[in-house]
A = this chain, B = another copy of it.
Amino acid sequence: MKYLDSHVLRPILQSELQLRRVVPESASHVAQSLVETSTRGVDSHGINLFPYYVSAIEGGRINPTPRFTWAARKPSVAVLNADHGFGHHAGSTAMDAAVEMASQTGIGAVSVRESTHFGAAAYFALQASRRGYLAFAFTNADALVRVHDGRTAFFGTNPICFCAPMDGEDPFCLDMATSQVSWNKIVNKRDAGELLPIGWACDQEGESTIEPGRAAMLEPIGEYKGYGLGMMVEILCAVLAGGPLGRDLLPMYGSPLNEQRAISHFFVAINIVDFVDAKNFTEQMTELARRIRGLRPRGKSPVMISGDPEKHNYRKRQTQGIPIEDAKYAQFLQVSAEFKKAAL
């Protein structure tokens, strides 16, 4: 395991992307999203994705020089065609537009079509909540989660992200797949030679399995509920954007990198002060967090609210660096020897 200094790493990521013809604004959002996400401890959606992104640019899947176009605009909604550019850039552009509309009309929503993997949904919703807005970010993804009462994966992990501003600390941040766990956790158990807890995964016949080697699909949270939430996200993203369904999306890995995926996203921003006095909102959020964090815990760790584990990680990794597996670090060095400069 190596540790990388996030402050040194960010500009290297950006310049390596720009060296590969990625426009500066895309490169900046990708670098910022990956480093922030890893520093928050969400290793599945942080810098570990970088080697994939480099391959996807080189293969032609991700357009390094996208031309974003607005397909429809009303006072509070818009549709952005991302031209297969980085989802990080498209999503951030969309969320900015949602915030701008919300500042005028109270709420704004933007649908994004023909996009690519956008990294962590929290990147966008945090961006809006740090400016004082309630914010949602959604994306569809390739089929990986078993349909309720069926034997087939149809929806992706279709995440729901919701953020709300807090006083004197980073926003409340819920960023969750609608499956019990991410696929990464199955892979980690397999690599560690451990069995899976009941309820995480099922085999290719749709039967529950605790053997990571037989796992072929993920289980939704709360049975029909997580499955329904996955379909809700699919409707808000793919159906509203007129984009392909998750079931028809190329898988992220193992598919030809010269083929595009056309992922769809959906973003909402809500202007709090059009509903309630800002001070009233802030005080109630503070009170809510204070009371919950003071509840009697089940174990030794205090009760937390969504986003607290990431805030703890952020403080730690800001100084200790971002951990990276040796094999992944070797992939970084294959991309560029510059990354040695970030090693602690």
Contacts and interface: CB of A to CB of B under 8 A. Distances in A.
Interface in A171-191: 172, 174, 176, 180
A134 interface: yes
B107 A240 contact: no
A148 to B, nearest CB: 7
Contacts of A180: 222
Interface stretch (A1-9, A31-39, A267-275, A331-339): A267-275
A299 to B, nearest CB: 7
A225 B181 CA distance: 10
Interface in A260-304: 268, 270-272, 274-277, 280-281, 284-285, 288, 291-292, 295-299, 301, 303-304
A288 B75 contact: no
A17 interface: no
Interface string A142-182: 00000111111010000010101000000010101000100
A172 B271 CA distance: 28
B147 A295 contact: yes
Contacts of A160: 229
Interface string A71-85: 010111101000000
Nearest to A222: B221
A245 interface: yes
Contact of A275 (B174, B227, B241, B276): B241
Contacts of A79: 275-276
Interface string A199-231: 000000010000000000000011011111101
Contacts of A77: 105-107, 270-271, 274-275
Given A77-B274, A111-B275, A228-B176, A297 B242 contact: no
A100 to B, nearest CB: 13
Contacts of A277: 242
A232 B295 CA distance: 19
Nearest to A285: B239
A172 B275 contact: no
A42 interface: no
Interface in A97-128: 104-109, 111
Contacts of A162: 228, 232, 235
Interface string A41-81: 00000000000000000000000000000001011110100
Contacts of A304: 148-149
B106 A75 contact: yes
Contacts of A311: none
A243 to B, nearest CB: 9
21 contacts: A74-B106, A74-B274, A107-B268, A148-B304, A149-B297, A150-B296, A152-B296, A174-B228, A176-B225, A176-B228, A180-B222, A221-B226, A227-B306, A235-B288, A241-B275, A241-B276, A242-B276, A242-B277, A242-B280, A242-B284, A247-B291
Interface of A: 72, 74-77, 79, 104-109, 111, 134, 147-152, 154, 160, 162, 164, 172, 174, 176, 180, 206, 221-222, 224-229, 231-232, 234-236, 238-242, 245, 247, 268, 270-272, 274-277, 280-281, 284-285, 288, 291-292, 295-299, 301, 303-306
